Amino acid sequence: MPTIDPRLSLALSIHSNKGIYAILLGSGISRSAGVPTGWDVIQVLIRRLAHLKNELCEPDPDAWFRHTFALEPEYSEVLGEIAKSPTERGQVLRAFFEPTDNERTEGLKQPTAAHRAIAELVSKGYIRIIVTTNFDRLMELALADAGVQPAVISTPDAALGALPLAHSPCTIIKINGDYLDTRLRNTRDELEHYDRPLELLLDRVLDEYGLIVCGWSGDWDTALRAAIERCASHRFTTFWATRAKVHEKGQNLITLRRATVIDIADADEFFRDMRDKVLALEQFALSDPVGPKVAVARMKKFLSDETRHINLFDLLNAETERAYAEITSARFATTGPPIHWPEVLARLRTYDGVSETLLHLMICGAYWAKSQHEALLLRCFKRISDSDGPQSGGLTVLNNLRAYPALLLLYGLGLSALARGNYRLLHSLLYLKIRQSKYQPEQAVAAVIHASAVLEPRHQLDCFSGTCTGLSDHLFELLRDPAREYLPGDTEYDQAFDWFEYLLALVHCDVEITRDGLAEKKGQDPDFFLPGPVGRFAWSSHHSGKMGIEQETELRTGEVRPEKVVALIQAGFFESAKQHDDKYRDVKAAFDRFVVRARFDMGRR
């Protein structure tokens, strides 16, 4: 029966159990960096001994060492014969781990692809514990390059004073010490046991975490073997990566831990592949359909972490593309037999469902985004808003309805930007150029995306049972819950909605006429009006006893400017240059006259 590739099982386990797997690294991890393994060091040291004794050890250095010293040519025995104290051993070893100028130029004794792949997984929170028998600092260097400052434990004192493992983003446990510390464990006696604090720490790791072993044979580190042997629990799987046949001592540990063996070419290939698979799963999870609450939680996390800008892009881009594919699919075809108004309303609600997650993301983004994030929000909005224009033979009402998702996102972005007081983003949004037809130049959003363009007032009257601003009312009700986190009070929300719709209408007028055009119209008729989209603000202002949005944004000679107007002028609305508000005054006055007329006309229906 076919079995699952153990590499796939490993990637799935790491991705599904973030931070639960520890990595155990042996000397094989640093081989491709030119850092010698313990056995490589033995061969060099034996040759040095033979040279000092003026003897020839070739062609078999091991046999020469046995004959000369009556000892087995093991790492601990050879090093112990050359250097009698830990300090001397540290000095001897230094040259094996620190690069010369030539080695540095050749890229030797620098972090390998394996080290960097592990560091990337650490930076993303997938790996938090690294246990290593190595003395070198390649892992620390790779982590530093990835922006991670690990807690390094290489002595009993460090083990006693360390943060709990769960509270540290990354902990490196160097069980045999660090080559710059004189308390290295090299000889057989030193490798027989660890000090009690290190033993207790290692026992915790082996008991509470899964284990990924690579580059370690299990032959030399007696105390480490003993720690693995005395661990009775196996909460998570052990994966043992090896490029050669595992010897008896290592095989016993594999059997004891019921480990999954993974055959590898080398450590670089293994860890690169592991990283790629885990990150592929991460990207799949980001593009996998999720509910609005989960998507917003992810977005907040990515917005708050400057290192997650790629994740933020992937999340928002994937949801934008999903929504785009839906709203341009055959289910929203614009051709066919004549439709009834209940069908139009049903189509609006279908658009609402398709756009729901993206809408929540846009609202969250507009509120929390920093300046560097705003381009991404606008890019995604433009993707939904751009259109090639009416389809040949399509029904006009359905063709126009294709702009509804963009209208929905526009209102969501606008309300959220107002809640944060981000008039810079609001300006970029309303004046953003989008394409509504491949035969026409791009136009500002405010000129072409508004309720009346999506559904004419006379059609709103039919669709929404007697109100010419029914689509505005629909958006008001629909957006209340998504915006509640940012506009919690009902009155606050009501006022923000009116202000956004009113501003959208003013900008609509603004982009349709120049300063010179305004001056010409004023000269011809001081009471001229500028038509624009009229929303529910016109009725709430007209019928309530409270002062409406038209009055709230009035500029009166000698009076302090309303805060809303000051923000507009400073953000560059209405071709403003800081304090120049003449165009705003003229556009507002002309549009307000149009609103009075529109109220009268609508009231007669």
| CATH, domain range 6-35+109-283 | 3.40.50.1220
* DSSP annotation string for 485-517: TTS-SHHHHHHHHHHHHHHHHHHHHHHH--HHH
- In the block, tokens 């640093």 appear at 30
DSSP β-bridge partners for residue 211 = 22, 238
Q: How far apart are CA 251 and CA 150, in angstroms?
A: 31
What would the two tokens of residue 308 be? 């997650």
The one-character DSSP state at 11 is: H
DSSP β-bridge partners for residue 190 = none
Check residue 37 and give its pLDDT: 67
| Region label for 258, one of left (φ > 0), alpha (ψ between -120 and 50) or beta (otherwise) | left
With contact defined as beta carbons under 8 Å apart, do 476 and 501 qualify? Answer: no
Strands 151-153 and 171-174: parallel
With contact defined as beta carbons under 8 Å apart, do 362 and 412 qualify? Answer: yes
Q: How far apart are CA 26 and CA 24, in angstroms?
A: 7
Q: Which amino acid makes up residue 517?
A: G
Q: How far apart are CA 415 and CA 493, in angstroms?
A: 8
- The residue ranges of every structural domain in the chain are 6-35+109-283, 39-103
Check residue 542 and give its pLDDT: 41
Model pTM score = 0.59
With contact defined as beta carbons under 8 Å apart, do 199 and 175 qualify? Answer: no
With contact defined as beta carbons under 8 Å apart, do 43 and 51 qualify? Answer: no
pLDDT along the chain (605 residues), means of 10: 76 90 90 75 85 89 88 73 72 78 84 94 94 90 92 88 85 83 57 83 92 88 89 86 89 92 92 91 66 89 87 90 88 75 85 93 94 94 81 69 95 97 95 86 94 89 80 94 95 94 95 88 90 86 54 74 85 75 88 87 57
- Alpha-carbon distance values, 136 to 133, 197, 437, 445 (Å): 9, 22, 63, 59
Q: How far apart are CA 489 and CA 40, in angstroms?
A: 72
Q: Which residues of 319-335 are buried (b: 16+ CB within 10 A; e: fewer)?
A: bbebbbebbeeeebebe
For residue 22, give the 3-state DSSP assignment.
strand
Cα atoms in the 13 Å half-sphere on the side-chain side of 149:
0
164 cis-preceded (ω within 30 degrees of 0)? no
Burial class (CB in 10 A: 0-12, 13-18, 19+), 159: buried
Q: How far apart are CA 231 and CA 234, in angstroms?
A: 8
- Alpha-carbon distance values, 206 to 236, 249, 447 (Å): 10, 18, 64
Q: How far apart are CA 579 and CA 586, in angstroms?
A: 15
With contact defined as beta carbons under 8 Å apart, do 389 and 440 qualify? Answer: yes
State the SS3 of 310-325. Answer: HHHHHHHHHHHHHHHH
Q: Which amino acid makes up residue 181?
A: D
What would the two tokens of residue 548 be? 């409406």
With contact defined as beta carbons under 8 Å apart, do 205 and 153 qualify? Answer: no
Measured distance between the N- and C-terminal CA atoms of the chain, rounded to whole angstroms: 75
For residue 152, give the 3-state DSSP assignment.
strand
Contacts of 71 (CB under 8 A, 6+ apart): 65, 77, 81
Q: How far apart are CA 29 and CA 117, in angstroms?
A: 12
The one-character DSSP state at 396 is: H
Check residue 310 and give its pLDDT: 87
